[in-house]
Structure 1
Amino acid sequence: MSRIITVVTPVYDGGAKYLREAYESVKDERQRLPRGWELQWLVQEDGTTGRPLLAIPEEPWISTGMASKGGAGATRTLALSRATGEMVRALDADDVILPGGLARDIAALESHPEMGWCISAGLDLLPDGSTMAGPYDPPEGRLTYETLLAAYDDDRFPVISTHLTARTALLLAVGAWPAIPAWEAIAAVLCCAAVSDGWMISAPGGIYRKHPGQMTSQPSYAEVADQDELRTIVRAQATALRGTGWRWP
């Protein structure tokens, strides 16, 4: 019986310009998975127009859905209702997975069964077509809650949180992506780390596209919530979870 890794992508009406490229990268990854593994891709619209979903074909391994607008966190989490994989990998609609990225995620978690999650380095794709490594990428190896929280407090979060791959049971147990208007991807990483160490994969697993149309570059993005409130609630949730003393598994 095949094992499955599920990729989750939120998209909104007007945000599907690069979704076809994301599809091509996911489709390519299907051919690169370790023997005995299959891929499921969940594409969930943050809204109910159906228009962004037209950018991808109907294929058995792709599951699409939609619901009233709730933000990227709620959209990702709602998509998990259709997840059949034992691992979940995040992917934004304007990013791509690099060749072999999912296979490396699977290998990392198979090699470290005591860990609930892993995350890969990424490359920033700049508007001029050049790429640049993240400024704070940690080396290959174990990632601890203490390390991530200290970096978070120093405003130097060292990983691309939208490259998270987590065991599905862990992700569900910590509430998946919280329904906050921003920073939900960082919150998910910190909550996973609060109850389980993770593994840093130094090989880039994806490309983070920086472009004028991306949601986080819009002037309105800075106004979705008070930054101090976001920083406080993300930290408070992870700290409270850590304080329960519960550890995964």
Structure 2
Amino acid sequence: MKIISVVTPVFQGGETYLREAYEAVRTERQRLPHGWDLQWLVQEDGTTGQPAAALPPEPWISLGMAQRGGAGAARTAALARAKGELVRALDADDLILPGGLTREIIALQEHPEVGWCVAAGLDLLPNGSLVPGPCDPPEGLLTYETLLTAYDANRFPVVAGHLAVRTDLLLAVGAWPALPAWETIAAIMCCAAVSNGWMIGEAGGIYRKHPAQTTAQPSYAETVGVDDLRVIVRAQAEALHASGWRWP
């Protein structure tokens, strides 16, 4: 049995939409291709145990917690329990669309030369409307050069928080770095630095925009130091790309 490990970080007070995420993941587990199963790694960024209380006891759900270190540290800590040959990221307030995981599994099976993939996304606005991601590229190969150009133009083209990736590649690039933000962009940039990816044209996930999300807070830019993040994320990816090592 092959496994895809879905990784979700959550902090105390950030579990408002976790039950909705659970329903989507549970439904997707029942739709996976023959011979595949799913484990959901829910990792609290903290040790309160409160987020876990929002979920029912299921053998395919693996709960973890650790001292607070940010979403990147929580995501990476969850990988200690990962049994899958593939890892799929999912934020606690986002959703997987019907058939999304299956399309990602198939894409990586049909394109063994690529190490990762990501599907088009839909933005869920506070008024309940769904709109396509503003920068989604067409279906096909995603190169490092394409992502870097878009990154430099401040128009990152994919929902980095919905990355689906081969586990060995993710581990090889250090998984999600312990940055105060942008750790999902950093992870996908580092994966792209050593391996092409694949863009899936059909929407595979919903990115929920709501007033309580961290990036919506007025103090967000000052708190995380966006200018410094922009520099370090690019520098790390460029150093990895320049090393000459390529996956696999």
TM-score by length of 1: 0.99
1:221 shift after superposition:
2.2
Q: Which residue of 2 aligns with 1:63?
A: 62
Q: Which residue of 1 aligns with 2:233?
A: 234
Question: Partners in 2 of 1:44 and 1:143 — Cα distance?
Answer: 29
Question: Partners in 1 of 2:170 and 2:223 — Cα distance?
Answer: 25
Question: Residue 20 of structure 2 aligns to a residue in which SS?
Answer: helix
**Structure 1: where are the runs of 5+ without partners?**
none
Question: Partners in 2 of 1:186 and 1:139 — Cα distance?
Answer: 19
Q: Which residue of 2 aligns with 1:248?
A: 247
Q: Which residue of 1 aligns with 2:33?
A: 34
1:92 shift after superposition:
0.2
Question: Partners in 2 of 1:96 and 1:84 — Cα distance?
Answer: 22
8 Å CA contact retained: 1:182, 1:224? no
8 Å CA contact retained: 1:118, 1:199? yes
Q: Which residue of 2 aligns with 1:171?
A: 170
- Counterpart mapping for 1:145-164 below 5 A: 145-164=144-163
1:224 shift after superposition:
2.5
Q: Which residue of 2 aligns with 1:89?
A: 88
- Counterpart mapping for 1:15-164 below 5 A: 15-164=14-163
1:44 shift after superposition:
0.2
**Structure 2: where are the runs of 5+ without partners?**
none
Question: Residue 80 of structure 2 aligns to a residue in which SS?
Answer: helix
Q: Which amino acid aligns with 2:197?
A: G
Q: Which amino acid aligns with 1:182?
A: A
- Counterpart mapping for 1:189-208 below 5 A: 189-208=188-207
Give the fraction of aligned pairs with identical amino acids, expressed as a percent: 72
1:196 shift after superposition:
0.2
Q: Which residue of 2 aligns with 1:222?
A: 221
Q: Which amino acid aligns with 1:12?
A: F
- 4+ runs of 1 displaced by more than 3 Å? none
Aligned residue pair count: 248
Single out whichever of 43-52 and 219-228 deviates more from structure 2.
219-228
1:239 shift after superposition:
0.3
1:228 shift after superposition:
1.2
Question: Partners in 1 of 2:241 and 2:30 — Cα distance?
Answer: 38
Question: Partners in 1 of 2:210 and 2:41 — Cα distance?
Answer: 24
Q: Which amino acid aligns with 1:83?
A: A
Question: Partners in 1 of 2:84 and 2:203 — Cα distance?
Answer: 23
Question: Partners in 2 of 1:126 and 1:69 — Cα distance?
Answer: 29
Question: Partners in 2 of 1:238 and 1:228 — Cα distance?
Answer: 16
Question: Partners in 1 of 2:167 and 2:71 — Cα distance?
Answer: 18
Question: Partners in 1 of 2:214 and 2:80 — Cα distance?
Answer: 25
Question: Residue 3 of structure 2 aligns to a residue in which SS?
Answer: strand
Q: Which amino acid aligns with 2:217?
A: Q
Question: Partners in 1 of 2:208 and 2:135 — Cα distance?
Answer: 17
What's the CA shift string for 1:75-106, capped at 9, x where partnerless?
A: 00000000000000000000110000000000
1:225 shift after superposition:
2.4
Q: Which amino acid aligns with 1:91?
A: L
Question: Partners in 2 of 1:51 and 1:185 — Cα distance?
Answer: 24
Q: Which amino acid aligns with 1:177?
A: W
Question: Residue 103 of structure 1 aligns to a residue in which SS?
Answer: helix
Question: Partners in 1 of 2:30 and 2:86 — Cα distance?
Answer: 17
Question: Partners in 2 of 1:86 and 1:216 — Cα distance?
Answer: 31
What's the CA shift string for 1:186-243, capped at 9, x where partnerless?
A: 0001000000000000111111000011111122322332211100000000000001
TM-score by length of 2: 0.99
